């Protein structure tokens, strides 16, 4: 049975916008009104993945698989922004992750994705 992926959204502290230059540069459209978000994809549950980000998860080979931005600024999951997206293949999840990040930016959110 193929692995199933989920796209998820984590709300970030607004401090990320003032403290992280790369985040600011990736979001020139942001006017400070809406939230700062992280969009990702996972074969785990979104809750498990958030926990991995927050603890600085590394795989068996020692490679870090968590986002520094989420580790430092991640607050909580925003299911209302992703629960309408069904289970996906890896290729579909990669496309949906990019598309959701673009859609949220167009709506005025500041978004980070890997």
Task: Name the DSSP letter for residue 81.
Answer: G
Which pLDDT score is estimated for 51? 96
Is 87 within the bounds of a domain? yes
Q: State which residues form the domain around 55.
A: 6-112
SS3 45: coil
Is 1 within the bounds of a domain? no
- Does 15 have pLDDT greater than 80? yes
Is 63 within the bounds of a domain? yes
For 74-85, the pLDDT digits (tens) are: 999 999 999 999
- Residues 6 or more apart whose Cβ sits within 8 Å of residue 3: 43, 90
For 21-58, the pLDDT digits (tens) are: 999 999 999 988 999 999 999 999 999 999 999 999 98
Is 41 within the bounds of a domain? yes
Task: Please state whether beta strands 36-42 and 6-12 pair in parallel, antiparallel, or not at all (unpaired).
Answer: antiparallel
Number of domains in the chain: 1
Beta carbons of 13 and 73 less than 8 angstroms apart: yes
Is 51 within the bounds of a domain? yes
Which pLDDT score is estimated for 114? 84
User: For 8, what's the count of Cα atoms within 13 Å in the CB-facing half-sphere?
Assistant: 21
Which pLDDT score is estimated for 3? 92
CA-CA distances (angstroms) from residue 32 to 5, 98, 110? 31, 22, 8
The H-or-E segment that residue 36 falls in is strand 36-42
Residue 93 and residue 43: Cα distance in Å, rounded? 10
For all residues of the chain together, what is the average pLDDT? 95
Give residue 79's Cα distance to chain centre.
12
């Amino acid at each position: 049975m193929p692995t199933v992926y989920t796209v998820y959204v984590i709300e970030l502290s607004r401090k990320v916008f003032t403290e992280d230059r790369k985040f600011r540069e990736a979001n020139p459209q942001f006017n400070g009104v809406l939230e700062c978000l992280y969009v990702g994809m996972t074969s785990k549950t979104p809750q498990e993945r958030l926990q991995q980000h927050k603890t600085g998860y590394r795989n068996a080979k020692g490679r870090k698989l968590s986002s520094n931005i989420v580790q430092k600024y991640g607050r909580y999951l925003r299911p209302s922004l992703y629960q309408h997206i069904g289970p996906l293949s890896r290729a579909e999840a990669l496309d949906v992750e990019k598309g959701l990040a673009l859609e949220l930016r167009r709506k005025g959110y500041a978004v980070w994705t890997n």
